[in-house]
Amino acid sequence: MKNTKFILCLSCVVLSMASCRKDDSFIPEDQEQLPAEPSVELAGFYLLNEANMGSNKSSLDYYDFNSGNYRKNIYSQANPNATLGLGDVGNDIKIYGSRLYVVVNMSDKVEVLAAKTAKRIGQINIPNCRYITFYKSKAYITAYDGYVSVVDTASLKEEKQIAVGKQPEEMAIVGTKLYVANSGGYNYPNYERTVSVIDLNTLSETKRIDVAINLHRLKADQYGDLYVTSRGDYYNIPSNLFVIDTKTDQVKKTFNLAASNIAIDKDEAYLYSVEWNNNTGSNAISYAKINVKDETIISKSFITDGTDQSIVIPYGIAVNPVNSDVYVTDAKDYVSPGTLYCFDKAGKKKFSVTTGDIPAHLVFLNK
Amino acid sequence: MIIKHLAKCGIMHFFIGTSIFWTATLLPNFSWAQTDTTKINQLKDVQINQLRLSKQHLSPTPLQVLSGLELQRLNSLSIADAVRYFSGVQVKDYGGIAGLKTINVRSMGSNHTAVFYDGVQLGNAQNGQVDLGKYTLDNIDELSLTSGQRAELLQPAKAFASASSLFIKTKVPSFNNKLQNFSADVKGGSFGLANVSALYEQKLRKNLALFVNAAFLNANGKYKYRYTNGYYDTTVVRTNADIYSYRLEGGVHGRAGQEGQWYVKVYQYQSERGIPGAIVSNKFDFSQRQWDDNIFVQTHYEHKLSNRYSLSLYAKYANDYTRYNDPTIKSDKGALNNIYKQQEMYFSFANVYRVADPLYFSFSSDYSFQTLDANLEYFAYPSRNTGLFVLAGKYVQKRFEFQANVLATLITEKVKTFSAAGNRVEYTPTTMFSWQPFQTPNFRLKGFYKSIFRMPTFNDLYYTFIGNTNLRPEYTKQYDLGFNYNTHVLAGTLKNFSIQTDVYYNQVKDKIVAVPTLNLFRWTMLNLDAVSIKGLETNIKALWLIDRFELITNLNYTFEKALDVTKTGFTYRNQIPYIPVHSGSFTSSLAYTHYSLNYSFIYTGERYSQKANIPVNYVKPYYTHDVSINANFGKLKNYKVTAEINNLFNQYYDVVLNYPMPGRNFRFTISTKI
């Protein structure tokens, strides 16, 4: 009798308690109306927000050019069944064919989504994966363990690991050659200082081009040149920008210009740099526009209306391949929602929108 | 609106829950025989309770104490578990037995609470944090927490030098016509826990006693946790959460005449543990490990030389070693293997002089020297000299007490490479009062004001890539006003009743925060943030003697608006991360002859995991119910068994986002005292 009463009472407590916590559910997407930018070629763009390490809050935003509708945090609603969501620190995003590939660094995976709906198709497991690129139905993914993983885009199976330098970062393809920027970040102060060259026919590393320490970004222009950035050592050796001629596979120009990230649109390259200055105790932020045809600096800024003053930490950059609008993201303090800015070709702000945490990587979706 | 609803909801359910619980337990008629020892023990409890309440009652600064039996009845393995029952406290708990657990008092941040072990601060110049999970309760006599500072004059300068203090007091040998004491306990239960501890005390001479204490703990740390959003529902076993540790402590306690006492003790703690990481999509297993070896020798001498003059001395040498291994970060030298070595020398001299009957003056001076070595590239190898000097005065009458002091802090630092932070001299004051406004001594008003700072840690200043030697100290200002009501009712069933309530306003300025530089791997430290904290905390205690039953209940509630008021920030006036607006606890213990039944409840309201108070950062409230039963048996009642169920309703929750806490778990203890 006593036990029954006790259990009954306890059940009451349990029941009353259960109603107290919010029901478990995904966090629905959030929408904001921005100016429409109707385009014949482009449907929209995806923005990948990295979010802070360990937070598992990486998220996807989508902007629709026709309607001007900006949808935030779309992954969870599109894929409520995906265990623990998109993951921890999204590091790269690309579209190949009808699929959207999201490299999620700390989740050791590449998410494969339908490009139109962002619905999940599958995933590729690669420890400490960083960047992705494609060639003839194969995906090439850098992994910090010192290799490029070759994955068949039909089966999503890894077919080969091509050894490159330590902690490889961004890649670019010119002709039948894959170029990989090696950083060696885990080996400081003995950083790597080369770009690996991989023959895409034999899938093996054929040579390494000596550039500078701690390489990161690598972008190809339309003239067969590669723009590669060095992070420096954060002490005495500053960040720098180099040009590699892929015909000779040699460095042909050193800009002596700090560069954290670069986006190339036809003859123009846009870049920004964030460098910590120990003397002033603050970040030195700079922007630049380069002509890639004759490799000259056009101007030390591409934002002309003073908006650059309100950007705390530029963290991502992309150029609209059709109308040449420039998109710059602001990661602010890394732990608050960021901002995406859109500038026209003249450097005037068209709009800005609040994003997820650490907005970083942008990819355009064709119609 | 949501906040209000949830708070009401939680508190309401909590009252419903507890009242039902007690109705159910108390209603049935027990028919055990009454013994005389019960009555005696009950009265003893009442007296002890009264004595302690009076200490709390008179304290101008908020003082909360957990001791002896109360501690044993709290379903706690470590000090971290026990301090959750103090009001105004948030314990940052990374889960499991081995996970890091730090205390944050009144939202000022864990670096602002000094933790004292038998009178001497447990230092950590590297990161300023003390992992309270490392300290098990088996040798602990008393835990006390004060906001501001302990209202005493004869204490080391360090006890004046932090925004709040947690005092850990270990057992002091006492002999009742015996020459030896021996006690031991064995614990086992969930997480593959095996914990054995033993204490031996030997009376050497009339005024001299030796003690040796050893504890061994081993656990595989495995437990189930569950994450769901209503669509996916995944239950996984937490791995790489194992721990192996032992603690050895020994020394001598002595008395010097009627008015003097001293001790010398040696302490060693060694452990190896897995470091379970954040549970994120596609990543549930980890391989990071950590080894710790902490050794210290400390001594204390205190003497009341005349009825006007007393002095107190402390000295300590500490040597701490930590090794952290991460096989996932491989370089030419193999897996990442960081070794940190810290050393500290510490001396303290304090003395108090009674000028006239109501007027006392004291002077305390402390000196400490700390060094940090690490096998990191570009490491600075810093060392720090700290001198602390306190001049304090106290005016005390029966109905009124006033204390004031000024603390001078002198710091110099040296590094072997790069440049050191500049020398620093700071002066910070504290004042406090306690006043009995009416005829009845049951009611007292009290309050304090304290300005203090915490120094940037060695990590803040010198950590490779991240450290910033331009950092200034992080300042706090505290304003507190409260009352104590304490009554000793002799008739009726209620024997003691006390309420301690405080409202407070804290300001944190130049808060040291990590800010980004180039990328996610590169941060630096800056004096950036400002926090404004308005809070109320209340603590209600009652002791009932109902026929043959003794019932002790304790209710804590904390309300806190801790707002980010950083002018340059992006989240102005948002509640700072991990601080709930509402939190509280309820504990109760029902004793009958040699049996006791204990129930405790903890509620932590909704919080945000990051600065912005937006849905993606929302962290659900949690509440855990713990129950335990213990019984003394044997001819002399020398043996005791305890069975505990923690998190009775198996609620899955995170204290720190993505670091899951255990669901329902069990623990059994057998202990003996000879």
Per-residue pLDDT tens listing for chain A (367 residues): 344 444 444 444 444 444 467 777 889 999 999 999 999 999 999 999 999 999 999 999 999 999 999 999 999 999 999 999 999 999 999 999 999 999 999 999 999 999 999 999 999 999 999 999 999 999 999 999 999 999 999 999 999 999 999 999 999 999 999 999 999 999 888 999 999 999 999 999 999 999 999 999 999 999 999 999 999 988 789 999 999 999 999 999 999 999 999 999 999 999 999 987 666 667 889 999 999 999 999 999 999 999 999 999 999 999 999 999 999 999 998 889 999 999 999 999 999 999 999 999 999 999 9
- With an 8 Å Cβ cutoff, are A104 and B281 in contact? yes
Kindly state the average pLDDT of the residues B140-163: 96
Mark whether A151 and A78 lie in a shared domain. no
- With an 8 Å Cβ cutoff, are B20 and A19 in contact? no
In chain A, what residues touch B336 (CB-CB under 8 Å)?
186
Mark whether A1 and A80 lie in a shared domain. yes
CATH for A77 = 2.40.10.480
Whole-number Å distance between alpha carbons of B476 and A134 = 55
Mark whether A67 and A164 lie in a shared domain. no
Mark whether A88 and A208 lie in a shared domain. no
**pTM strictly above 0.95:** no
Kindly state the average pLDDT of the residues B501-528: 82
Nearest-neighbour CA in chain B from A21: distance (Å) = 6
Nearest-neighbour CA in chain A from B193: distance (Å) = 28
Residues 316..345 of B with a Cβ closer than 8 Å to A: which?
328-332, 336
Closest residue in A to B618 (Cα) is A27
B144 three-class SS: strand
Whole-number Å distance between alpha carbons of B530 and B532 = 7
Mark whether A44 and A90 lie in a shared domain. yes
- With an 8 Å Cβ cutoff, are B234 and A50 in contact? no
Q: Residue type for B237, please?
A: V
Work out whether the CA dihedral B130, B134, B139, B143 comes out positive or negative: positive
Beta bridge partners of A327: A318, A342
Nearest-neighbour CA in chain A from B95: distance (Å) = 15
In chain A, what residues touch B569 (CB-CB under 8 Å)?
333, 336
- With an 8 Å Cβ cutoff, are B17 and A13 in contact? yes
Q: Residue type for A281, please?
A: G
- Do B148 and B478 contact (CB within 8 A), yes or no? yes
Residue B611: which of A235, A331, A336 has the nearest Cβ? A336
- For residue A198, being part of any structural domain is answered with yes
Mark whether A138 and A286 lie in a shared domain. yes
Kindly state the average pLDDT of the residues B622-630: 95
B458 three-class SS: helix
- Is the per-residue pLDDT at B624 higher than 90? yes
pLDDT at B151: 93
H or E, element range at B637: none
Residue A80: which of B229, B465, B520 has the nearest Cβ? B229
Nearest-neighbour CA in chain A from B634: distance (Å) = 28
Whole-number Å distance between alpha carbons of A271 and A328 = 10
Nearest-neighbour CA in chain A from B336: distance (Å) = 9
pLDDT at B23: 39
In chain A, what residues touch B28 (CB-CB under 8 Å)?
2
pLDDT at B46: 64
pLDDT at B418: 80
Residues 126..185 of A with a Cβ closer than 8 Å to B: which?
127-128, 145, 166, 185
pLDDT at A278: 63
Mark whether A161 and A290 lie in a shared domain. yes
For the stretch B247-284, pLDDT in tens is 999 999 999 988 999 999 999 999 999 999 999 999 99
- Is the per-residue pLDDT at B25 higher than 60? no
- With an 8 Å Cβ cutoff, are A84 and B282 in contact? yes
- For residue A173, being part of any structural domain is answered with yes
Mark whether A153 and A296 lie in a shared domain. yes
What's the domain count of chain B? 1
Which of B433-442, B617-626, B631-640 shows the lowest per-residue confidence on average (mean pLDDT)? B631-640
Query: For residue B622, how many C-alpha atoms fall within 13 Å in the half-sphere facing its CB?
Result: 22
Q: Which two tokens stand for residue A25?
A: 């559910």
Closest residue in A to B610 (Cα) is A335
Q: Which residues of A146-159 are buried (b: 16+ CB within 10 A; e: fewer)?
A: bbbbbbebeebebe
pLDDT at B40: 60
Mark whether A179 and A43 lie in a shared domain. no
For the stretch B362-393, pLDDT in tens is 999 999 999 999 998 889 999 999 999 999 99
Nearest-neighbour CA in chain A from B554: distance (Å) = 20
Residues 19..38 of B with a Cβ closer than 8 Å to A: which?
20-21, 23-25, 27-28
First to last CA, chain A: 71
In chain B, what residues touch A338 (CB-CB under 8 Å)?
none
Which pLDDT band holds residue B39 (cuts at 50, 70, 90)? Answer: low
What's the whole-number average pLDDT of chain B? 90
- Is the per-residue pLDDT at B52 higher than 70? no
In chain B, what residues touch A235 (CB-CB under 8 Å)?
378
Whole-number Å distance between alpha carbons of B185 and B69 = 15
- With an 8 Å Cβ cutoff, are B332 and A190 in contact? yes
For the stretch B318-354, pLDDT in tens is 999 999 999 999 988 899 999 999 999 999 999 999 9
Domain that holds residue A113: 1-125+314-322+362-367
- For residue A331, being part of any structural domain is answered with no
Nearest alpha carbon to residue B649 among B602, B604, B607, B605: B602
In chain B, what residues touch A108 (CB-CB under 8 Å)?
282-283
- For residue A165, being part of any structural domain is answered with yes
- A279 close contact with B: CB closer than 8 A: no
A18 three-class SS: helix
Nearest-neighbour CA in chain A from B88: distance (Å) = 22
Rg (CA), chain A: 23
- With an 8 Å Cβ cutoff, are A336 and B615 in contact? no
pLDDT at B284: 96
What's the domain count of chain A? 2
Residues 549..578 of B with a Cβ closer than 8 Å to A: which?
569-571
- For residue A342, being part of any structural domain is answered with no
- With an 8 Å Cβ cutoff, are B378 and A59 in contact? no
Whole-number Å distance between alpha carbons of B579 and B109 = 10
Nearest-neighbour CA in chain B from A247: distance (Å) = 32
Mark whether A41 and A84 lie in a shared domain. yes
In chain A, what residues touch B516 (CB-CB under 8 Å)?
313, 331, 333-334
- With an 8 Å Cβ cutoff, are A235 and B378 in contact? yes
- With an 8 Å Cβ cutoff, are A274 and B6 in contact? no
Taking residue A321's Cβ as centre, other Cβ atoms within 10 Å add up to 13
Whole-number Å distance between alpha carbons of B316 and B346 = 5
Which pLDDT band holds residue B246 (cuts at 50, 70, 90)? Answer: very high
Nearest alpha carbon to residue A327 among A23, A53, A37, A88: A37
In chain B, what residues touch A78 (CB-CB under 8 Å)?
none
pLDDT at B87: 93
Domain end call among A253, A268, A302:
A302
Nearest-neighbour CA in chain A from B462: distance (Å) = 12
| pLDDT > 70 in chain B, percent | 91
Mark whether A176 and A70 lie in a shared domain. no
Which of B23, B26, B282, B471 is most worth mutating to test chain A (most A CB atoms within 10 A of its CB)?
A: B282
Kindly state the average pLDDT of the residues B506-516: 87
- For residue A33, being part of any structural domain is answered with yes
In chain A, what residues touch B518 (CB-CB under 8 Å)?
231, 234, 239, 260, 274-276
- Residue B220 DSSP one-character state: -
pLDDT at A13: 46
Q: Which residue has the higher pLDDT, B69 or B220?
A: B220
- For residue A347, being part of any structural domain is answered with no
For the stretch B200-245, pLDDT in tens is 999 999 899 999 999 999 999 999 999 999 999 999 999 999 999 9
pLDDT at B251: 97
- For residue A207, being part of any structural domain is answered with yes
- Do B582 and B603 contact (CB within 8 A), yes or no? yes
The predicted complex's ipTM stands at 0.91
Nearest-neighbour CA in chain A from B260: distance (Å) = 53
Q: Which two tokens stand for residue B314?
A: 């402390």
- B176 close contact with A: CB closer than 8 A: no
- With an 8 Å Cβ cutoff, are A84 and B279 in contact? yes
Q: Taking each helix axis from N to C terminus, what angle separates A2-18 and B2-26, rounded to the nearest 10 degrees? A: 180
Angle among Cα B367, B369, B373 to the nearest 5 degrees reads 165
Q: Compute the CA torsion angle B329, B332, B334, B335 (nearest 10 deg).
A: -10
Nearest-neighbour CA in chain A from B108: distance (Å) = 19
- With an 8 Å Cβ cutoff, are B518 and A276 in contact? yes
pLDDT at B452: 96
- Residue B662 DSSP one-character state: P
- A237 close contact with B: CB closer than 8 A: no
- With an 8 Å Cβ cutoff, are B520 and A55 in contact? no
CB pairs under 8 A between A and B: 181
CATH for B230 = 2.40.170.20
Domain that holds residue B569: 2-673
Nearest-neighbour CA in chain A from B455: distance (Å) = 18
Residues 191..230 of A with a Cβ closer than 8 Å to B: which?
none
Mark whether A53 and A182 lie in a shared domain. no
Residues 33..62 of A with a Cβ closer than 8 Å to B: which?
50, 52-57, 59
CATH for A204 = 2.130.10.10
Residue B377: which of A54, A80, A188 has the nearest Cβ? A188
Residue B329: which of A73, A186, A313 has the nearest Cβ? A186
Which of B417, B570, B609, B649 is most worth mutating to test chain A (most A CB atoms within 10 A of its CB)?
A: B570
